[in-house]
């Protein structure tokens, strides 16, 4: 019984042991908000995972564009921001 439990714990821990770097986290604010409003969440993620790369994407001019820009334009700008960031290229 104890051997089986240790085996399970061992196999559950394997992905964490061999993962030397974290994947980046991309945050996107909602309507009537801004990228800077996501800083508390970004700080929280960084506190849980030191050395992780966290970026909050700003689309257009913040609050106003969050509800005036058509959604397809916002998605296009979001993709452009991600694709132009070299730290997001590997995943």
* pLDDT tens digits along 60-90: 887 888 889 999 999 999 999 999 999 998 7
CA distances from 62 to 9, 35, 37, 86 (A): 46, 7, 10, 23
Condensed to tens digits (0 to 9), the pLDDT of residues 1-35 reads 544 444 444 444 555 555 667 899 999 988 888 89
CB-count exposure of residue 37 (10 Å: 0-12, 13-18, 19+): middle
The structural domains of the chain, with segments of one domain joined by +, span 22-88
């Amino acid at each position: 019984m104890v051997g089986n439990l240790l085996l399970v714990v061992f196999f559950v821990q394997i992905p964490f042991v061999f993962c030397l770097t974290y994947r980046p986290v991309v945050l996107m604010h909602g309507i009537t908000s801004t990228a800077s409003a996501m800083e508390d969440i970004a700080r929280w993620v960084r506190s849980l995972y030191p050395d992780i790369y966290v970026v909050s994407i700003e689309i257009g001019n913040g609050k106003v564009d969050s509800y005036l820009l058509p959604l397809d334009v916002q998605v296009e700008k979001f993709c452009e921001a991600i694709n132009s960031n070299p730290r997001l290229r590997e995943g």
